[in-house]
Structure 1
Amino acid sequence: MSDLKLETLTLLRDLSVPFPSPREAEIAYQVLRVDDEPPRSGVTKKLVLNNNILEVSFSGKEARKVRVGLGAFFDSLLLVTETIQQFGPPEPTYSHYHD
């Protein structure tokens, strides 16, 4: 009997989400970065802010779990963008914590 070692593939999905301004991208980044994927999901999410582009990377071993993670991310992203639209363009800077 031969030893057959099956490699487990890692699925990777990269997304770039453009925003009208760097400030709006920063708001989305700050809101979306606080929620890590649950450890039991087997999915890893990485967010990077690049000027007005939010770069998102999902990886995992099971396509179904990556799909669920992406769906949850898009639900949250939609909520953030709708909230920004509802309240209008944000101030260019946020100085609440500065005197």
Structure 2
Amino acid sequence: MTALVAAAAPAFPVARGRPVSRPRHVPGPGEDAASKIPRLESRIHVFALCVPFPSGLEAEIAYGSLAPDAEPHGGAVEKQLTVSGSVMAVRWRAKDPRLLRISIMTFLDQLSLVMQTMRRFGPPVSR
């Protein structure tokens, strides 16, 4: 029976054989101190990506395939696509990091499909 008592962990921290009480949470004047720390959800998160292509025409083709896709989260995520030379740039802004991540992953899946399709058809012919 003594072994069972010795193996049991005390419910509270013990110092010199006496229980030690945990400090109480005391909020600051008029508000909780934790509310002064900016939360991830209240910040604007930005992610930018540059995708190089072999030619400006291929960048324009990819842009034309990817730009029409609207964000499914009702304006919670802003996405901008631009083309400069042979580089397509994408920029996202969102308050919710989870929705931002979903938008980026969805875009990368679509970009991968566009690039595979372009590779299968070969280099584009100038008009």
Q: TM-score range by the shorter chain?
A: 0.7 to 0.9
Residue 58 in 1 paired to residue 76 in 2? no
Q: Which residue of 1 aligns with 2:81?
A: 47
User: Deviation at 1:40?
Assistant: 2.9
| Cα distance in structure 2, aligned partners of 1:88 and 1:16 | 22
Give SS of 2:74's match.
Answer: helix
Q: Deviations over 1:66-89 (max 9, x none)?
A: 110000000110010000000110
Residue 83 in 1 paired to residue 121 in 2? no
Q: Which moved more, 1:83-92 or 1:2-11?
A: 2-11
User: Which stretches in structure 2 are left out of the alignment for 5+ residues?
Assistant: 1-29
**Given residue 48 of structure 1, which amino acid in structure 2 is its aligned partner?**
T
**Given residue 50 of structure 1, which amino acid in structure 2 is its aligned partner?**
S
Give SS of 1:49's match.
Answer: strand
Identical aligned pairs, as a percentage?
Answer: 38
* Rg (Cα) greater in structure: 2
Superposed CA RMSD in Å reads 1.8
Write out the 4+ residue segments of structure 1 that deviate beyond 3 Å after TM superposition. Answer: 2-7
**TM-score when scaled to structure 1?**
0.85
Q: Which residue of 2 aligns with 1:96?
A: none
User: Which stretches in structure 1 are left out of the alignment for 5+ residues?
Assistant: 94-99
Give SS of 1:40's match.
Answer: coil
User: Larger relative CO (CA 8 A, sep 6+): 1 or 2?
Assistant: 1
Q: Deviations over 1:16-71 (max 9, x none)?
A: 00000001000000110001212436111100010100000011011111110000
Q: Which moved more, 1:33-42 or 1:20-29?
A: 33-42
